Structure 1
Amino acid sequence: MFKRRFRMNKSLFLRIVERISNEVPYFQQRRSACGRNGLSPLQKCTATIRMLAYGQSGDTYDEYLRLGDSTARLCLANFNDAIILLFGDEYLRSPTAEDLQRLLDVGEVRGFPGMIGSIDCMHWE
């Protein structure tokens, strides 16, 4: 059920939440001036990943996550910056020659030879 709702494995989700909450101050839970706990990293990341997975607006999560629209949008902006900062070198790099060859091989096996750089497949004959 988790994979269907978040469109990722639970272990990956928890890895992202843990890494972000440890290294990005915005995602660390704080106390307000009256001593109440603020939003948890789990609440912030849940709203953000659900927004990304389903393309919904920020106020969709007000009911069950107790997160307002402006806060959800702020979480999304901070989440995107955090992902680029923490995981960019590993996952957002340009493909190497080996990566390109592997992608070409997979595409050919699936019936799409030479499919690098064609998002909309408009070059088909």
Structure 2
Amino acid sequence: MYWKWENCVTAWKGVYSGHIHESTFILEAIATYYLWIWHAFFGMPGSHDNNNVQKRSFVFTELAQGCALPVNYTVNGNDYTMGYYLADGIYPKWKTFVKKIPAPRGNKHKHFAKTQESARKDVEQAFGVLQQRFAIIRGPSQIF
């Protein structure tokens, strides 16, 4: 989520201006389907893209090192010990990232794509709940 920074220091405007051409902070969050946010990473300049934010996030740094919170589940008879993250196509090809199927073919792939899209909307809903509950996130930041 890009959070507008209304009173950005003039000297920093270039660093904090990104694709929306306004000064922004980036708020990264990892949420479950029932809107429980268990990780938030805040403060990266708005000029960064998802890859740059991901490289500075301690959750993904630990994943790259093979460390993660233990999550045990079974799918199709296979046991897994690490969680997975629904991600955009821009993220690297890691086993823990489940990416969108760009052009799903067949009923199985179409069902998967539809289910994944609805789960990704849960994360967007979590940001919406944050904005409704905490007015500070809803409007522009006025720090400084």
Give the TM-score, by structure 2 length.
0.30
Q: Mark the structure with the bigger radius of gyration.
A: 1
Q: Which has the higher strand share?
A: 2
Q: Which has the higher contact order (CA 8 A, sep 6+)?
A: 2
Q: Which has the higher helix share?
A: 1
Give the TM-score, by structure 1 length.
0.32
